Amino acid sequence: MAIAIAESEMLRINVRDAEHEAFVRKLLARAPAERIEYHCIPTNEPWCRDHGPIFVTKKQAPRLAMIDFGYNAWGWKYPPFDDDDAVPGNIAGALGIKHFDYSHFVLEGGSIDLNGAGALITTEACLLNPNRNPELNRAEIEELLKESLGVKKIIWLGDGIEGDDTDGHVDDMTRFVGPSTVVTAIEEDESDPNYYLLEENYSRLEAVQLAKDEPLEILKLPMPSRIVRDGQRLPASYANFYIANEAVLLPVFGETNDAWAESVLRGVFPKRKIVSIDCRELIWGLGAFHCLTQQQPAV
């Protein structure tokens, strides 16, 4: 993953200390060293998408800024999380970037997906879960999303996929791939618990209009076959891809639907190389490439 990202963009990695940095440098000996920076910012978990900052751009200079949302380890599931909660402020300091404090609002980056043109997709299962912001109702959450991220339209899906310990992150199901286009996961096996919930989410997407008489273009993305380890269903999904400058990193799972997923993304991103990487071990950590990364926009 690191090598594929560093081929076309700067990769910044948080490490705990100098000893940890030396260890990671050895692992990445084949990566282009000039495109990798190390920052001594300790973390409790590797999932930068969720505990890291969300970068935004402004019309006036300095154009790049970041939002520091609150973080409570997906509803207090995995304490301690003090280091993770401090990551956005530490990154802001390391990069010299202004950050806006929204620590009173618990929000993980994987729980939302945006089109860059005023629309945001999320799930009721996650954002309305009382283990995040029990004092806020739907309208108040929508207002905070609009205020902090500059969006105008909130698209609500329902439940998340089976095995997802985040209570239903949208980045395992539905992703914007253009201002008015999404790819969304479908399950063909009617006996699978994901079948009906993904059908329900698909129906919700069909009813969306971004502007008057402008429906979403919806492209179907398959689900991989059920993966169970130590009696636990793992949240394997092709939707957890990362979009790099010149490539798309696609998690694959050593099965026939891998080729179908590759074909869908190849059609969506004709100017980017689709880099498929086996994630059968990584998914045991309950996440994949999108969960591990947080993009910083060019300004």
Task: Note whether 117 and 87 are within 8 A (CB).
Answer: no
Active site (annotated) includes residue 40: no
Q: Which pairing describes strands 119-123 and 153-157: parallel, antiparallel, or unpaired?
A: parallel
Q: Which of 48, 126, 279, 291 is catalytic?
A: 291
Indicate the SS3 state at residue 51. helix
Structure-derived torsion over alpha carbons of residues 66, 70, 76, 82, reported in degrees to the nearest 10: 80
Task: Note whether 293 and 251 are within 8 A (CB).
Answer: no
Give the other-Cβ count within 10 Å of 286's Cβ: 18
Residues annotated as catalytic are 291
